[in-house]
Amino acid sequence: MRVIRGDSSIVNNIYSYDLFDSNNPNLIHSQVYNNIFTSLNSPSTHATAFTRNIFVNASTINTTNNGNTSVNNLFQTNPLFLNSSASNIHDNNYRLYAGSPGKNYGTDGSDVGFYGGEFPFVLLESGAMQLPTIRSLQVSGIVKQGGQVRVISTISNASNN
Protein backbone atom coordinates (compact mmCIF):
# COMPACT_ATOMS: atom_id res chain seq x y z
CA MET A 1 0.00 0.00 0.00
CA ARG A 2 1.30 3.44 -0.79
CA VAL A 3 1.45 6.12 1.89
CA ILE A 4 -1.82 7.95 2.38
CA ARG A 5 -1.33 11.33 4.00
CA GLY A 6 -3.82 13.75 5.41
CA ASP A 7 -7.58 13.95 5.50
CA SER A 8 -8.11 10.48 4.04
CA SER A 9 -11.00 8.33 5.15
CA ILE A 10 -11.23 4.56 4.91
CA VAL A 11 -14.91 3.81 5.52
CA ASN A 12 -17.21 0.75 5.32
CA ASN A 13 -14.84 -1.82 3.83
CA ILE A 14 -13.90 -5.42 4.49
CA TYR A 15 -10.20 -6.25 4.34
CA SER A 16 -9.17 -9.89 4.22
CA TYR A 17 -5.45 -9.15 3.81
CA ASP A 18 -3.13 -6.91 5.79
CA LEU A 19 -3.75 -3.33 4.74
CA PHE A 20 -0.79 -1.82 6.54
CA ASP A 21 2.96 -2.38 6.29
CA SER A 22 4.07 -3.46 9.75
CA ASN A 23 7.44 -1.66 9.48
CA ASN A 24 6.55 1.71 7.99
CA PRO A 25 3.59 3.98 8.75
CA ASN A 26 1.61 4.20 5.52
CA LEU A 27 -1.54 5.84 6.78
CA ILE A 28 -0.95 9.27 8.25
CA HIS A 29 -3.46 11.84 9.58
CA SER A 30 -6.43 9.79 8.45
CA GLN A 31 -9.71 8.36 9.70
CA VAL A 32 -10.54 4.66 9.62
CA TYR A 33 -14.08 3.77 10.64
CA ASN A 34 -16.89 1.23 10.14
CA ASN A 35 -14.54 -1.40 8.60
CA ILE A 36 -13.93 -5.08 9.20
CA PHE A 37 -10.33 -6.33 9.20
CA THR A 38 -10.18 -10.13 9.05
CA SER A 39 -6.39 -10.64 8.99
CA LEU A 40 -4.88 -7.41 10.25
CA ASN A 41 -2.54 -7.97 13.16
CA SER A 42 -1.01 -4.62 14.06
CA PRO A 43 -1.51 -1.56 11.84
CA SER A 44 1.45 0.75 11.39
CA THR A 45 -0.05 4.23 11.25
CA HIS A 46 0.56 7.74 12.57
CA ALA A 47 -1.98 10.31 13.79
CA THR A 48 -4.83 8.14 12.56
CA ALA A 49 -8.24 7.79 14.23
CA PHE A 50 -9.72 4.29 14.38
CA THR A 51 -13.42 4.30 15.27
CA ARG A 52 -16.00 1.48 15.38
CA ASN A 53 -14.04 -1.10 13.40
CA ILE A 54 -14.02 -4.85 13.94
CA PHE A 55 -10.60 -6.52 14.09
CA VAL A 56 -10.73 -10.31 13.93
CA ASN A 57 -7.06 -10.92 14.87
CA ALA A 58 -5.72 -7.69 16.33
CA SER A 59 -5.91 -7.20 20.08
CA THR A 60 -5.31 -3.44 20.14
CA ILE A 61 -4.33 -0.35 18.15
CA ASN A 62 -0.98 1.11 19.13
CA THR A 63 -1.64 4.61 20.47
CA THR A 64 1.72 5.11 22.20
CA ASN A 65 3.71 8.13 20.98
CA ASN A 66 2.25 8.05 17.47
CA GLY A 67 -0.88 10.22 17.67
CA ASN A 68 -3.26 7.35 16.87
CA THR A 69 -6.61 7.12 18.61
CA SER A 70 -8.83 4.11 19.11
CA VAL A 71 -12.50 4.62 20.00
CA ASN A 72 -15.15 1.89 20.31
CA ASN A 73 -13.31 -0.67 18.20
CA LEU A 74 -13.99 -4.38 18.70
CA PHE A 75 -10.86 -6.54 18.93
CA GLN A 76 -10.46 -10.29 18.44
CA THR A 77 -14.11 -10.38 17.44
CA ASN A 78 -15.85 -12.60 14.90
CA PRO A 79 -18.06 -10.37 12.68
CA LEU A 80 -20.38 -13.34 11.96
CA PHE A 81 -20.58 -13.21 8.17
CA LEU A 82 -23.44 -15.19 6.62
CA ASN A 83 -20.96 -17.12 4.47
CA SER A 84 -17.26 -16.58 3.97
CA SER A 85 -14.54 -18.94 2.87
CA ALA A 86 -10.91 -18.33 2.09
CA SER A 87 -11.18 -20.86 -0.75
CA ASN A 88 -13.64 -18.82 -2.87
CA ILE A 89 -13.67 -15.14 -1.97
CA HIS A 90 -15.74 -14.18 -5.04
CA ASP A 91 -18.80 -16.15 -3.97
CA ASN A 92 -18.73 -15.17 -0.32
CA ASN A 93 -21.68 -13.52 1.33
CA TYR A 94 -20.23 -10.90 3.65
CA ARG A 95 -23.60 -9.78 4.96
CA LEU A 96 -23.82 -9.96 8.74
CA TYR A 97 -26.03 -12.29 10.76
CA ALA A 98 -28.75 -10.51 12.75
CA GLY A 99 -26.77 -11.22 15.94
CA SER A 100 -23.48 -9.90 14.59
CA PRO A 101 -21.62 -7.37 16.75
CA GLY A 102 -21.28 -5.30 13.54
CA LYS A 103 -25.05 -4.92 12.98
CA ASN A 104 -25.98 -1.26 13.40
CA TYR A 105 -22.56 -0.66 15.02
CA GLY A 106 -21.28 1.92 12.51
CA THR A 107 -20.81 5.55 13.45
CA ASP A 108 -24.02 6.33 11.52
CA GLY A 109 -26.03 3.48 13.09
CA SER A 110 -25.73 1.24 10.02
CA ASP A 111 -23.71 -1.97 9.70
CA VAL A 112 -19.92 -1.95 9.60
CA GLY A 113 -18.41 -3.35 6.40
CA PHE A 114 -19.51 -2.61 2.88
CA TYR A 115 -23.22 -3.30 3.45
CA GLY A 116 -23.52 -0.23 5.66
CA GLY A 117 -22.83 3.46 5.35
CA GLU A 118 -24.05 6.12 2.99
CA PHE A 119 -23.57 3.97 -0.14
CA PRO A 120 -24.09 0.32 0.89
CA PHE A 121 -23.16 -2.51 -1.44
CA VAL A 122 -26.21 -4.09 -3.08
CA LEU A 123 -26.55 -7.81 -3.85
CA LEU A 124 -28.58 -9.50 -6.58
CA GLU A 125 -31.86 -11.10 -5.44
CA SER A 126 -30.06 -14.47 -5.34
CA GLY A 127 -27.65 -13.06 -2.76
CA ALA A 128 -24.74 -13.10 -5.23
CA MET A 129 -22.40 -10.16 -5.81
CA GLN A 130 -23.01 -8.00 -8.87
CA LEU A 131 -19.33 -7.47 -9.62
CA PRO A 132 -18.00 -9.36 -12.63
CA THR A 133 -15.27 -11.89 -11.92
CA ILE A 134 -12.81 -13.38 -14.40
CA ARG A 135 -13.46 -17.14 -14.16
CA SER A 136 -10.92 -18.22 -16.79
CA LEU A 137 -8.33 -16.46 -18.92
CA GLN A 138 -6.21 -17.74 -21.81
CA VAL A 139 -3.64 -15.50 -23.47
CA SER A 140 -1.70 -16.54 -26.57
CA GLY A 141 2.00 -17.20 -26.07
CA ILE A 142 4.82 -15.24 -27.66
CA VAL A 143 3.66 -12.68 -30.22
CA LYS A 144 5.91 -10.91 -32.73
CA GLN A 145 5.99 -7.13 -32.73
CA GLY A 146 2.92 -5.85 -34.57
CA GLY A 147 1.20 -9.22 -34.15
CA GLN A 148 -2.09 -9.85 -32.42
CA VAL A 149 -2.58 -11.19 -28.92
CA ARG A 150 -5.43 -13.67 -28.64
CA VAL A 151 -7.32 -13.45 -25.35
CA ILE A 152 -10.15 -15.81 -24.39
CA SER A 153 -11.93 -15.14 -21.12
CA THR A 154 -14.98 -16.24 -19.21
CA ILE A 155 -16.47 -13.50 -17.08
CA SER A 156 -19.54 -13.80 -14.88
CA ASN A 157 -20.95 -12.75 -11.57
CA ALA A 158 -21.37 -15.27 -8.76
CA SER A 159 -24.96 -16.07 -9.71
CA ASN A 160 -24.17 -17.43 -13.17
CA ASN A 161 -20.96 -19.40 -12.83
Residue-wise pLDDT for 116-152, tens only, equals: 999 888 776 666 666 667 777 888 777 788 888 778 8
CA separation for the pair 84, 31 (Å, rounded): 27
pTM of the shown model: 0.72
Residue type for 97, please? Y
Domain boundaries, the chain: 4-96, 125-161
Look up residue 46 and give its DSSP letter. B
- Tell me: the pLDDT tens digits for 69-121? 999 999 999 999 987 665 555 556 788 999 999 999 999 999 999 899 998 88
Q: Detail the DSSP E strand segments found in the chain.
A: 4-11, 14-15, 27-33, 36-37, 49-51, 54-55, 69-71, 74-75, 81-83, 93-96, 133-139, 151-156
Segment 19-64, tens digit of pLDDT = 555 555 567 888 999 999 887 655 678 888 999 999 998 888 888 8
